[in-house]
Amino acid sequence: MVEVENLGFGYRGGFRLAIPQLSLADGEKLAIVGPSGSGKTTLLNLVAGILVPDSGRIIVAGTEVTGMSDALRRRFRASRIGFVFQDFALLDYLSARQNILYPYRITPALVLDAAARDRAEALAEACGIGDKLDRHPAALSQGEQQRVAICRALVTRPRLVLSDEATGNLDPDSKARILDLLFRQAEEAGAAVLAVTHDHELLPRFERVLDFAQYRQETPA
Ligand SMILES: Nc1ncnc2c1ncn2[C@@H]1O[C@H](COP(=O)(O)OP(=O)(O)OP(=O)(O)O)[C@@H](O)[C@H]1O
């Protein structure tokens, strides 16, 4: 589902990430752990095509995202990848329902039909925010906003789910429930999951755990 080869990326500030090889099989659930600042979010952004590497290749669902134009990468991301951002990235002027259905607004290839609307409702219900769909993010708790972000990542039935601390703001019971939901939805859609987490108690639920400390590289002064 994901192939990363000889990946090199550096920010202007000096941080460099180098990953010789990383692969994720169809349907596989891989957790990424590692110290703060080791590049975990950066990798998710590279796989999603939000950042472009300086060198190397990233292939997602058989398509090389490196080398695509910005517009193509955006479309590819919206139709094939569900991304739960660390800061949720909800739009304040949209209701929870509109936020969940947002990928359909921005992607011509996705058709906002009754089935998509039903899926949004069912996901929200399963996440425990079924009665909050008409509220705007400002009127939702952090945990509720996080659930909206999770519903938005899953509603399109993506092939790959990228999750950056998707359960970070939830209580322990909710964490387990939300992870169950994320995994169940991913399994039904045959999607792979690449999840950054600091919740070590959740790690046994994943098939593989990758410690990111090994990849850290600083540019020499
Ligand atoms: N836009 C940016 N410009 C310059 N440096 C950045 C930028 N974004 C992140 N960095 C730096 O790159 C490094 C890796 O950041 P990243 O967010 O990928 O780490 P992380 O492992 O996800 O951290 P955390 O666990 O705290 O979320 C950090 O040192 C960070 O300061």
Distance 105 CA to ligand 1 centre (A): 30
Using the atom order of ligand 1, give the atom closest to the CA of residue 86: 27
Ligand 1: which residues within 6 Å by Cβ?
11-13, 15, 34, 36-42
Ligand 1 geometric centre to CA of 13 (Å): 10
Quote the ipTM score: 0.97
DSSP 119-164: HHHHHHHHHT-GGGTTS-GGGS-HHHHHHHHHHHHHTT--SEEEEE
Query: Which residue minimizes the CA distance to atom 13 of ligand 1?
Result: 37
Q: How many domains does the chain have?
A: 1
Residue 216: pLDDT band with limits 50, 70, 90: low
* % residues pLDDT > 90 (the chain): 62
Q: How far is the CA of 221 from the centre of ligand 1 (A)?
A: 18
pLDDT digits (tens, 9 = 90+) for 176-207: 888 888 898 888 888 999 999 988 888 999 99
179: left (phi over 0), alpha (psi -120 to 50) or beta: alpha
pTM of the model: 0.91
- Take atom 25 of ligand 1 and give the residue whose Cα is closest: 36
Q: How far is the CA of 126 from the centre of ligand 1 (A)?
A: 32
Q: How far is CA 101 from the centre of its chain?
A: 16
In angstroms, the CA 198 to CA 190 distance is 25
Residue 35's domain comprises 2-218
Q: Which residue's CA is the nearest one to ligand 1's atom 26?
A: 36
Which of 59-68, 78-87, 131-140 is the most confident on average? 131-140
Pocket test for ligand 1, best of 33, 40, 86, 163 (most atoms within 8 A of CB): 40
DSSP string, the chain: -EEEEEEEEE-TTSEEEEEEEEEE-TT-EEEEE--TTSSHHHHHHHHTTSS--SEEEEEETTEE-TTS-HHHHHHHHHHHEEEE-TT----TTS-HHHHHTHHHHH-TTS---HHHHHHHHHHHHHHT-GGGTTS-GGGS-HHHHHHHHHHHHHTT--SEEEEESTTTTS-HHHHHHHHHHHHHHHHHHT-EEEEE---GGGGGGSSEEEEGGGGEEE---
- CATH number of residue 211's parent domain: 3.40.50.300
Q: How far is the CA of 38 from the centre of ligand 1 (A)?
A: 7
Lowest mean pLDDT among 116-125, 167-176, 190-199, 205-214: 167-176
Average pLDDT over residues 209-213: 90
